[in-house]
Structure 1
Amino acid sequence: MFVSHITSIPGVRLEGTGIVNAMKQSLIGPAQGWDGWSMRLFTLAEGGQTPRHSHPWPHINYIVGGQGTLFLGGQEQPVQTGSIAYIPGGEEHQFRNISGQDFAFICIVPAEADK
């Protein structure tokens, strides 16, 4: 069993090519008893973005705050609080913050993808 609060989980500022103003919090995964899966929270500050990239694993996303865009399937689509997305493995994708407030989303992936 695991119970915590988002304010108790440290964030890691992400750096690398194509990453701007991005932070990741690893919320639940194998260390908390959820074998095989990881749930992370990404927060993109104003002007923030993830790199446009692809990888072999799928992931599930739920937008928990703000507004942004999701590049997926060759096009950019608006997303906002309450939006959901399934991104198949191998599909090029990118999240971008298009608002003046934080844009935050949950991302669930196979545990080996959360490194």
Structure 2
Amino acid sequence: MFVSDVASIPVIQLEGPGIIKAAKQSLIGPAQGWDGWSMRLFTLSEGGQTPRHSHPWPHINYVVGGRGTLFLGGKEHPIQAGSIAYIPGGEEHQFMNVSGEDFSFICIVPAEADK
């Protein structure tokens, strides 16, 4: 069993090619008893983005705040709080903040993908 609050989870500022103003919090995973899976919260500040990339694992996303664009399937899709997305493994994708506020989304992946 695990009960906590997002405010108590460490925030990791991400760095690397194509990453701009992005932070990650690893909310629930094997360490909290969810074997095989990890739920993370990503926050992109104004002008922030993830790199355009692909990887072998799928992920499930739920937008919790703000507005953004998801590049997926060769197209840009507007997304906002309440939007959901499934990204198959191997599919090129990118999240971009297009608003003047934080853009936050939950991302669920296999545990080995949360490095």
TM-score norm. by structure 2 comes to 1.00
> What amino acid sits opposite 1:45 in the alignment?
S
Question: Please, which runs of 5 or more residues in structure 2 have no aligned partner?
Answer: none
TM-score norm. by structure 1 comes to 1.00
Q: Sequence identity, in percent? A: 82
> What amino acid sits opposite 2:74 in the alignment?
G
- After TM superposition, give the deviation of residue 45 of structure 1 in Å: 0.2
Q: Deviations over 1:36-89 (max 9, x none)?
A: 000000000000000000000000000000000000000001000000000000
SS in 1 for 2:95: strand
Question: Please, which runs of 5 or more residues in structure 1 have no aligned partner?
Answer: none
Structure 2: distance between partners of 1:48 and 1:26: 19
The aligned counterpart of 1:29 is 29
Structure 2: distance between partners of 1:110 and 1:10: 20
The aligned counterpart of 1:3 is 3
SS in 2 for 1:52: coil
The aligned counterpart of 1:73 is 73
The aligned counterpart of 1:108 is 108
What is the number of equivalent residue pairs in this alignment? 115
Q: Which runs of structure 2 are paired with 1:47-86 in the superposition (5 Å)?
A: 47-86=47-86
> What amino acid sits opposite 2:99 in the alignment?
S
Structure 2: distance between partners of 1:11 and 1:85: 23
- After TM superposition, give the deviation of residue 4 of structure 1 in Å: 0.1
